[in-house]
Amino acid sequence: MKTVMLIPALMVIWITGHGQPAAGTNNSGTVRYEEKMKLEIKLEGESAQYSDMLPKERTERTVLYFSPDESLYHSDNEKPATDAIEQETGGTMIHYQVYQDDDKVYRNLKENKRIEQREFMSRQFLIESDAGKADWKLTGDQKTILGLPCQEGMREEDGKKIRAWFTPAIPVSSGPRNWGNLPGLILAVDINDGERVITATSVEFSKVDKSLLGKPREGKKVTEEQYKKIVDEKMKEMGGEGGGGGQHIVIKIQR
């Protein structure tokens, strides 16, 4: 009787261990994300007739390396993607271009500090700041992403509604872009009900080489306000729009 009872007990132990990362191994690894952004480009006056020729959505792949003490987030392309379209219609040339800059976001989780390296028109900028405090509201909603249990946090940022899904199964307070300060790693973000959606496509638990977590060091040191002013002034000069989040859109219509 004792031998018969021992077999199912061992099976339960094997199933439990197989479904979850071993203790102490789920606080370091790599998350890959897919970002989808809706493009609502409104042209005015005579140019409005060309609006339907422009893309309505853009997809980018990004990666987050994380450890218990720090994380680094950036594009997952060897070379940042740049979309360009040229189309001639009725003697009018439309040139549309999205500059996908190789932005990086480094977080020191122990000191709650953040360093952002942003590229704009081939110029590098460094923005250092405190990572802020946890001002998320936990809604109690739950779902599963990539087999990991997640909870929802909400906040408002620059007039936009941010919904983030984080997993306490990965006890690292980081996530894509500038978002963090939740009791677990963020695996998905929804901005303004689908305006921009970031979703984890894979999670790999492993020890991350220190070289993949290096602090960004290239660029001129500026504040967030100074950077926004530089971008706005340059985009107005070029007749384009600031796309935000590392994307800048330039549209030229020549008749």
- Which structural domains are found in the chain, ordered by start? 25-254 (2.50.20)
Comparison of pLDDT for 18 and 187, the residue scoring more = 187
Average pLDDT of 6-31? 51
Strand 220-221 relative to strand 241-244: parallel, antiparallel, unpaired?
A: unpaired
Under 8 Å CB-to-CB from 241, ≥6 apart: which residues?
41, 235, 248, 249, 251
Strand 123-130 relative to strand 220-221: parallel, antiparallel, unpaired?
A: parallel
Comparison of pLDDT for 158 and 205, the residue scoring more = 205
Query: 82-91, 108-117, 173-182: which has the minimum mean pLDDT?
Result: 82-91
Beta strands in 57-100 (DSSP E): 57-66, 70-75, 82-89, 92-100
- Report the number of secondary-structure helices (H) and strands (E) in the chain: 2, 16
Asked if pLDDT for residue 31 goes beyond 90, the answer is yes
Round to whole Å and give the CA distance between 121 and 86. 20
Asked if pLDDT for residue 129 goes beyond 70, the answer is yes
Asked if pLDDT for residue 242 goes beyond 60, the answer is no
Instruction: Summarize the chain as % helix, strand, coil (round to 5).
Output: 20, 50, 35
Are the beta carbons of 221 and 126 closer than 8 angstroms? Answer: yes
Query: 15-19, 52-56, 178-182, 219-223: which has the minimum mean pLDDT?
Result: 15-19
State residue 83's pLDDT score: 52
Which phi and psi angles does 213 have, rounded to 5°? -120, 20
Asked if pLDDT for residue 218 goes beyond 90, the answer is no
Average pLDDT of 45-56? 63
Are the beta carbons of 101 and 66 closer than 8 angstroms? Answer: no
State residue 56's pLDDT score: 73
